[in-house]
Amino acid sequence: MLETNLQIKMLDALGIMHTAIRNFVLYPPASPAIANTIEKLHLSLIYILEQKSPIIIAESERRFLIWGKYLDQKDREKVQITTLLNIFLNFGIKSISFDKGLEKEELGIFIKYLSKNPEELKDEGGLPKIMVEKSILHIYLDERVFVSMDKDQKIISGFDINENKSFKQNTSKTETSAQDQTADGIADVENVNGHLVEDLFSENAEVRSQASDKLSVIIESLPPERQNELVGSLSGRLVEWIKLETSATASYEKICISLQRLLNIFIRQGRFDEIVPILDVFHNINTGALKKDDQVREISSVIIRNLASEDNRLILFKEYHTNERNKQNEANQILLRLGNAILNNLLDMVRDVSDSHERVRVMHLIIGMGQSAIPAIKDRISKNAPWYYLRNLAYLLGRIGNESSAHMLQPLLLHENNKVQMEALKSIFQIGGDQRGTLFLSALNQADNQFKLNIIEMLGKVKCTEAVTPLLNMLKKPPKLTLIDQTALQEKICTALEYIGSPEAIPALSEIVESKSFLGIRWYYTVELRQAAQRALESIKRKQKFSNSADG
């Protein structure tokens, strides 16, 4: 009864798979229709895997087999079944196996590529290579798994069985060959730590290449669990080899991908402290800290992107925010090394997360990435963005930017929200260097009255000599304001002129101190303004006197 029920469930799953493939063809990638069918397919397969694993779907003589049994005639004639069969035939797939641990993300990636024309995938190396690069760990193509059909016959997924006699002969040979290969691989493992690993460090490129080829073959000959065990035991030496190796051979790429698989497992097992030493080498190559050619760098870049999968990000972010495993710092270090691969996701979180504590932690992550984050932040600065988001972007630039990136903040000086203006002002002050005065001056005339005061104060602090003339003009002919606001503006100008210390300001300041207004009305200036002008005048004269004595 269980077998019958599972067959029915499998037919339902094949129908959902057909719909999922069709939806990838019909809808854009972000469509809810795609997400919903992948979710449904994942739940369906997970349910079946709990009852029986692995799930094995094979093709033989243009017919489907599920767990080694041919589908009934009426099921074979269903549209979704014939369509899936054609997809198998177009890709040359003899079997697909789904194993326990199947994740929704890897299933979605697999279905997406199944929806494409096989010709489109040739430039990427074909479906099997893509599956390796995308870390699809629980879906296998053309696995040589013996599947019972009945008591008299067996098939091996991936092999034709047109002739029963030759099939039985091939089965026997293949089984013996597979056993021999695995035995050889396991035997070779015993010797891996000897000359083979040492040869990876040979000065002779040919010797290194042969050693990596042999190691790659040994790794691939082992069952998955033994592969990970071997790669894990060699990880330290492999990292040192990757640091030194200069050639992006096929074996180099395979060994790097083996390390990527190991890191994926470590992330899911929460073994964060074991990840950083391995991840470091790929991060350093990807960022250029470790100089390599473009081919080698591209391999590291792909590995970083694959490690930054949605599932991995969720695991790492959870630990980073909650410290549930007491490995918050390690999660932080891993996220930092994923760098640009997760940067857009982090910037989305800065915009969308409502919890202020969580948002601050994310911003600290971005700051930890340093100047490599600047281009992505620049792309996010838009007048249509929410004001609170722009304020945070301005804050980030103020922590990781430099003089050459300060101009990115200029538009925010004229933003309608005062909090955005002030954050941009402070950030320019922090990173703007010699550009600060020019950037502040560019916004002076268009700023509202309150923000003018802030800009003038900053012009004084950066001792912007280019600001002296416009400030004096504003001092002599202030904008039309209430007497209180006008006085506040003029006092702020006097203070700025004091900081700048230019002798050019002496005549105007003297006139105020002597209470001779420009209109000849002695009571035009307040006591507070005359005092501010007096302080500025005395300071400038002291500096001038000191300068003259130093020159003399």
417, part of any domain: no
Gyration radius of the chain's alpha carbons? 35
Say if residue 44's pLDDT is above 90: yes
Out of 57-71, 150-164, 403-417, 418-432, which region has the weakest mean confidence (pLDDT)?
150-164
Place of tokens 């998955």: 224
Could you tell me if residue 219 is left (phi over 0), alpha (psi between -120 and 50 degrees) or otherwise beta? alpha
Q: What pLDDT sits at residue 277?
A: 95
Neighbour order of strands in the sheet with 139-141: 69-70, 63-66, 55-60, 95-98, 139-141
Interval 72-86 mean pLDDT: 84
Q: Are residues 282 and 223 in the same domain?
A: yes
Amino acid letter, 46: I
123, part of any domain: yes
Each residue's pLDDT tens digit, 410-445 = 999 999 999 999 999 999 999 999 999 999 999 999
Q: Are residues 205 and 285 in the same domain?
A: yes
424, part of any domain: no
Interval 280-303 mean pLDDT: 95
Q: Per residue in 148-185, is it b (16+ CB within 10 Å) or e — as a string?
A: ebeeeebbbbbbebeeeeebeebbeeeeeeeeeeeeeb
Q: How confident is the model at residue 129 (pLDDT cuts 50, 70, 90)?
A: confident
Cβ(349)–Cβ(359) below 8 Å? yes
Phi, psi of 97, rounded to the nearest 5 degrees: -120, 135
432, part of any domain: no
Say if residue 537's pLDDT is above 90: yes
264, part of any domain: yes
Q: Are residues 168 and 223 in the same domain?
A: no
Please calculate the CA angle 231-233-234 and round it to the nearest 5 degrees.
65
Q: Are residues 17 and 75 in the same domain?
A: yes
**CA–CA distance, 173 with 116 (Å, rounded to integer):** 36
Neighbours of 49 (CB within 10 A): 17
Tokens found for residue 552: 């003399």
**CA–CA distance, 283 with 278 (Å, rounded to integer):** 9
Out of 73-87, 337-351, 355-369, which region has the weakest mean confidence (pLDDT)?
73-87
Domain housing 285: 201-338
**CA–CA distance, 104 with 109 (Å, rounded to integer):** 9
Q: What pLDDT sits at residue 161?
A: 31
Q: What pLDDT sits at residue 123?
A: 81
**Torsion on CA atoms 148, 153, 157, 161, rounded to nearest 10:** -160
Out of 51-60, 179-188, 263-272, which region has the weakest mean confidence (pLDDT)?
179-188
Q: How confident is the model at residue 514 (pLDDT cuts 50, 70, 90)?
A: confident
Interval 465-492 mean pLDDT: 92
Q: What pLDDT sits at residue 444?
A: 96
Amino acid letter, 451: F
Burial class (CB within 10 angstroms; exposed 0-12, middle 13-18, buried 19+) of 336: middle
pTM, rounded to two decimals: 0.65
Phi, psi of 96, rounded to the nearest 5 degrees: -125, 130
Q: Are residues 134 and 249 in the same domain?
A: no
Please calculate the CA angle 108-112-114 and round it to the nearest 5 degrees.
115
Return the percentage of the chain with pLDDT > 90, whole number: 57
125-129, 179-183, 441-445: range with highest mean pLDDT: 441-445
Q: Which residues contact 364 (CB under 8 A, 6 or more apart)?
A: none
Q: Are residues 112 and 15 in the same domain?
A: yes
Q: Are residues 97 and 173 in the same domain?
A: yes
CA atoms within 13 A on the CB side of 362: 24
Cβ(134)–Cβ(107) below 8 Å? no
Residue ending a domain, among 179, 212, 244, is 179
Tokens found for residue 245: 């190796």
Return the percentage of the chain with pLDDT > 70, whole number: 87
Cβ(117)–Cβ(128) below 8 Å? no
Say if residue 172's pLDDT is above 70: no
Interval 42-68 mean pLDDT: 87
Q: How confident is the model at residue 272 (pLDDT cuts 50, 70, 90)?
A: very high
Q: What pLDDT sits at residue 471?
A: 96
Q: What pLDDT sits at residue 167?
A: 33
Q: Are residues 33 and 175 in the same domain?
A: yes
Q: What pLDDT sits at residue 193?
A: 57
Interval 455-483 mean pLDDT: 94
Q: How confident is the model at residue 536 (pLDDT cuts 50, 70, 90)?
A: very high
Number of domains into which the chain is organized: 3
Residue ending a domain, among 295, 318, 338, is 338
Cβ(494)–Cβ(536) below 8 Å? yes
Interval 39-66 mean pLDDT: 88
Q: Which of 383, 379, 412 is nearest to 395 (CA)?
A: 412
38, part of any domain: yes
**CA–CA distance, 298 with 285 (Å, rounded to integer):** 9
Q: Which of residues 59 and 279 earns the better pLDDT score?
A: 279
Q: Are residues 81 and 205 in the same domain?
A: no
Cβ(107)–Cβ(139) below 8 Å? yes
Cβ(454)–Cβ(426) below 8 Å? no
Q: Per residue in 315-333, is it b (16+ CB within 10 Å) or e — as a string?
A: bbbebbbeeeeebbebbbb
Q: Are residues 154 and 271 in the same domain?
A: no
Distances (CA, A) of 3 to 6, 7, 66, 68, 69: 5, 6, 11, 12, 11
**CA–CA distance, 444 with 449 (Å, rounded to integer):** 10
Q: What is the DSSP letter of 200?
A: T
Beta bridge partner(s), residue 141: 96
Q: Are residues 131 and 254 in the same domain?
A: no
Q: How confident is the model at residue 233 (pLDDT cuts 50, 70, 90)?
A: very high
Helix (H) or strand (E) holding 426: helix 418-431
Q: What pLDDT sits at residue 74?
A: 85
Beta bridge partner(s), residue 95: 58
Q: Which of 235, 244, 259 is nearest to 199 (CA)?
A: 244
Residue ending a domain, among 319, 338, 357, is 338
Q: What is the mean pLDDT of the chain?
A: 86
Q: Which of residues 498 and 79 earns the better pLDDT score?
A: 498
Q: Are residues 166 and 245 in the same domain?
A: no
Cβ(332)–Cβ(281) below 8 Å? no
144, part of any domain: yes
Place of tokens 């930092």: 336
328, part of any domain: yes
Instruction: Give the SS3 label for residue 413.
Output: helix
Q: What pLDDT sits at residue 146?
A: 38
